[in-house]
Amino acid sequence: MIILDEQQQAARTWFESLRDRICSEFEAIEREAGSDATFGYTSWNRDDDPEAKGGGGVQGLMKGKVFEKVGVNVSTVGGAFSPEFAKTIHGAGDNPNFFATGISLVAHMANPHVPAVHMNTRFLVTTKRWFGGGADLNPPLPNPDDTADFHARLKEACDAHDPAHYPRFKQWADDYFYIPHRKVHRGVGGIFYDHLEGDFDVNFAFTRGVGEAFLDIFPKIVRRRMNEPASAADRAQMLEYRGRYAEFNLVHDRGTLFGLRTGGNVDAILMSLPPLASWS
């Protein structure tokens, strides 16, 4: 069992409340499409791990008419990194103990015209305390209007806190969500930030702003595209694109590695993988 301080509890409570509101909105979209799909929730814990300080999380998963597969996970864990892994983590080189809480979301959509999406925000404590996260859009069939609206909403969230955030964090996303062996970007970008430390209240407010921006814009894009007709060729392109998405998450994604190296729930960690994909 881990004992949380005031900042850790505040972050955990926010991530869980954001999860609840996102899942409710996604279920509402399913009802609008004539589906009765709802999220199923599976709890997991690390209290039986003698090398861990405990904690755990809840995996939320829904498979519906609009959301072919969407996972919304929250976790709050503590423990100690292995000595080698600690060297790769901000502030953990001299002390491997850590605390982490966050929300992670990946949605793979049934209609190829609706973009897949990823969103994650987190709060980590080593010898330092920092927030990280972001959101990025991953359309199999990119639409310039959707891309522009997604970026505009994220820019608005950034500009409310620091005008320098958006250009910096957009470039960070462009650099991070890149598949070197394919020489292509995973999607059309968004924002990505990490190691945002210093004033807890300021950085927590920004992280909440990112979550609110995602909850505002992504459902609008889904409703805009979910009833568009799609051809067999559109579907084939979506499945091939999903292969690229899987390659990035299995080979390059730091969040996947972090979860696997810290004793997280494997099914929750790998919920980011698409239900179907193809390599032609």
| pLDDT tens-place string over residues 61-107 | 999 999 999 999 999 999 888 888 888 889 888 889 999 999 999 99
Query: Where would I find the beta strands (DSSP E) of the chain?
Result: 40-45, 54-62, 67-80, 97-109, 116-125, 129-138, 178-179, 184-185, 189-197
> Is 118 a known active-site residue?
yes
| pLDDT tens-place string over residues 244-253 | 999 999 999 8
Check residue 160 and give its pLDDT.
98
Tell me, which fold does domain 6-272 have in CATH?
Answer: oxygen-dependent coproporphyrinogen oxidase (3.40.1500)
Nearest partner of 186 among 233, 120, 252, judged by Cα: 252
- For the chain, give the percent of residues with pLDDT over 70: 97
Residue 115 CB-density burial (10 A; 0-12 exposed, 13-18 middle, 19+ buried): buried
* Sheet-wide strand order for 40-45: 40-45, 54-62, 67-80, 97-109, 116-125, 129-138, 189-197
Residue ranges per structural domain of the chain: 6-272
Mean pLDDT of the chain: 94
pLDDT reading at 111 higher than 90: yes
Choosing from 90, 108, 113, 118, the catalytic residue is 118
pLDDT reading at 262 higher than 80: no
